[in-house]
Amino acid sequence: MRYVGDVAVGAVGLGAMPLSIEGHPDEARAVATVHAALDAGVTLIDTADSYHAPVGGAPGDGELLVARALAAYGGARDRVLVATKGGRGRTPDGGWTVDGDPARLRCAAQASARRLGVEAIGLYQLHKPDPAVPYAESLGALRDLLDAGTVRMAGVSNVDVAQIRLAREILGDRLVSVQNRWSPAVRDSEPELRLCAELGLAFLPWSPLGGISRSSLDGASTQAADPRFGAFHRVARERGVSPQRVALAWALARSPVVVPIPGASRPETARDSAAAAELALDGRELELLGP
């Protein structure tokens, strides 16, 4: 278990983005994927109002899917923390927009709460700083949402050290998380990870499997040319597990504030990712995988 604010969550979360954007699975498999993750001990599900297909989809499709999957789940749901994000949108050609306007952020959060069927969103995250809006003003919208009870905890995403410090200044202890891209292939958020450890903020790396090739669950995986990534495959062969599981175990070993949120679109991959919480890498393996 790890902590997001005062909420204990499974050490590995579920990134629900692949369940609702272009190329998403059908409803039955998407719901089964969420259920498999919950059965495997996942209690943090991450989504966003912008996780929808650019053509034929609508804002909030991902949130509605998560809500339906939770409603249909036969197990305990009271420990599940649903995190969503606001401040981004889609374009018909598959691109992404950014909108940090405070009024629109407040409306977006209220709409997200309705779609999730909750009085207060457990964790609401500002998806990305908007270069057209002073960041302090966007953060002020999160503060307003916290004050109004629409949001219980707040987080920021795709940010640098200075933006994290500003968010802490404006939101105080109600800022509980940072969600940045970080993986074996993309390690430029190390300063942000260190700051999160210093401040006691959960660090939720998105796309945490970057650099690792096709899952062994899809058949034989090829070894990457970069020796950093080849080491993950070597350890995986020695352990008899997937290189993806090794990558997530490596992430967990880096800091106790790390809670990776790998995406999944099949029950098998959701279960495999969750199992990383039980994979303890030894010193030799961690040295091989690199800092």
Contact 12, 248 (CB under 8 A): yes
Q: Give CA torsion, residues 116, 154, 273, 36, to 10 deg.
A: -20
Contact 10, 76 (CB under 8 A): no
- Round to whole Å and give the CA distance between 178 and 202: 6
> Strand 96-98 vs strand 121-126: parallel, antiparallel, or unpaired?
unpaired
**Does residue 51 have an active-site annotation?**
yes
- Round to whole Å and give the CA distance between 129 and 14: 23
Task: Choose the catalytic residue: 3, 51, 73, 135.
Answer: 51
Contact 227, 219 (CB under 8 A): no
State how far the alpha carbon of 43 is from the alpha carbons of 122, 151, 259, in Å. Answer: 12, 18, 11
Residues catalogued as catalytic: 51
